[in-house]
Structure 1
């Protein structure tokens, strides 16, 4: 029999292969992985600490930064610790339930991350296009409700993916090439009909990334139109400068995410180790750089970092 069901055959684990072809270099590859992860944790926990401690930072913009920091921590933590176990100790086994759980949490946090970026674009739109009503439109309570809506959307959209995978039979080769249980990589191991799984995964990617990018594009279109109506060039620069941090974070996040999604589905011509290394950029680079970008571009946050640094 060429296929069997993992749960019925007694085979209850998958094998995460790390980075195929570069097994001898796993220890060296783990160095940037661990450095990026540590910097990411330090930066994002610093944002959470500062906003929680400073009453003056209890504003919608900083509440959104906390949400972004939480999703950044979640994205990297869903994957990097297991990847380091593979690199350091060759602990490649992962149970089927563990694999599906990792997939669910990773994709849920990724969808939530995208929702936070959309909300941040809306925040910038209101701040620039309707500044007099900013405090009444975007209250802390309303931002919290938008965050809750984003979380519910993420859970409802992502939950069917692992549930649909549970019904599939899997081939004898149960080795997953990437460092984590990516949805399409697990789907490709099945010997059953994966049409529904592939279609649903593609639709969800298009809905989350496509819809969110469209909403962000609409927000910035309205922002640009409002800015162009201002006669002063100095006012132009000041208005656009408030958006630069968000634009940098957005471009970095969506570029790496889109690359990861597209290469997993259509990157047959790319060698496995290059494919996997580049896909991991989405897990390592944005979570590490996001707090740095906002720390550099946001004076109030930068001042608070200086305040606590001087106390040490």
Structure 2
């Protein structure tokens, strides 16, 4: 039904404030706008990649993998919800303006009512899924980086980010190991699976360098103690990736990094056409009924 004030917004994933009872006041010396911008970056990475992984539902190689990818997508969606809620609490001005009386909670407004240029995810997570080898390769690169980031983010001076990271470490450790096992399995399987694994790495490898380019927002986050400078993660992540490649008997891809789009990259709101198409599908019903209730 529409317009029933006693009901909840029809398209949200939960009815309770995910940060209810938590003191969301930024710590002394922390710029609220910078904190919000940083949370949007990490939240958008998780949100966009969660949606891409969810597209494997009923399409994965077998039922077990179908469920595994769906669970990974749900883990990332949970992280996204908390991070977007944290962004909204740190700086309410980042939340899109909706019609008066709209029941949409802030984290859902950020997910469903921003245009692609307002998203701050890296381009690695937004492309089409490709075949299963591409998905395994992308998950390996993303999860290895995100686990390293979350491990350090547990020491954030922002208690909300620290708590999100502490929970996320347990989840993403599984994501990384799951991806690594599949990459090795495909690399050491048949000639065709090995060929596809090599091709999958070549597809995603040029985009993973963007994960380690320090954006000014990330530099501020590290300086103020609530975030992590991604450049400092590169060496440790590279060691782990080399271990997986070695076990699989795979050579390190030699394809060059993807350059910027115009005057920036994903963190600057510069995205590929794939993100726009994905958001059009993801947001269409919510945008059609911003006051929808049930």
Shorter-normalised TM range: 0.3 to 0.5
Question: Hey, which of these two has a bigger chunk of strand by percent?
Answer: 1
TM-score, normalised relative to structure 1: 0.31
Question: Hey, which of these two has a bigger chunk of helix by percent?
Answer: 1
TM-score, normalised relative to structure 2: 0.32
